[in-house]
Amino acid sequence: MKKYFTKLAMTMIAFTSLLFMGSAISNNNVHADANDNFKQVYTVAKSKLGSPYIYGATGSNAFDCSGFTGYVYKNSLGVRLPRTAQAQYNASTKVSRNNLQKGDLVFIGGSTASIYHVGMYIGHGKMIDAQNRGVVKESIKAPWWNVVGYGHVDD
């Protein structure tokens, strides 16, 4: 009987180890995919640095904020985003500041019900966005706006 329990315990340990190893491999692939996706999205985004801001413009030579994020995702990953910053917020998967990843969207407004600006997080507290100075990289923290949320774009 003691042999049976020893074999059972060894089998359970082996099975549990395989589960954890498979989970780690799966998580590494998800992380690698996210990095690859960000590289594609960021390549398109930074190619538009300096493009002028025009209200209502969706590219390829001029943008408004949501026109820019929509253009970038469409032309990098083939993902179509809703047209306005508010609609992009509504359609995104919400993430906390602590879980913010490169490529996630940064939403600015009076509240989550009155979003008027969107940019794409690029790491180190910065985003790339289209605003009155054109397409620029800038801090997500600025005294003249209020970050009201972050969203992940599902592809």
Query: Please, which residues bridge with residue 109 across strands?
Result: 115
Question: In the numeric block, which tokens belong to residue 127?
Answer: 């985003």
Per-position pLDDT tens, the chain of length 155 = 555 444 544 444 444 343 344 444 444 454 567 788 999 999 999 999 999 999 999 999 999 999 999 999 999 999 999 999 999 999 999 999 999 999 999 999 999 999 999 999 999 999 999 999 999 999 999 898 999 999 999 97
Element (H, E) at 122: strand 115-123
Which residue among the candidates 31, 33, 64, 129 is catalytic per the annotation? 129
3-class secondary structure, 121: strand
117 is catalytic: yes
104 is catalytic: no
Domains assigned to the chain: 2-152 (3.90.1720.10)
33 is catalytic: no
Task: Identify the sign of the CA torsion 65, 144, 99, 151.
Answer: negative
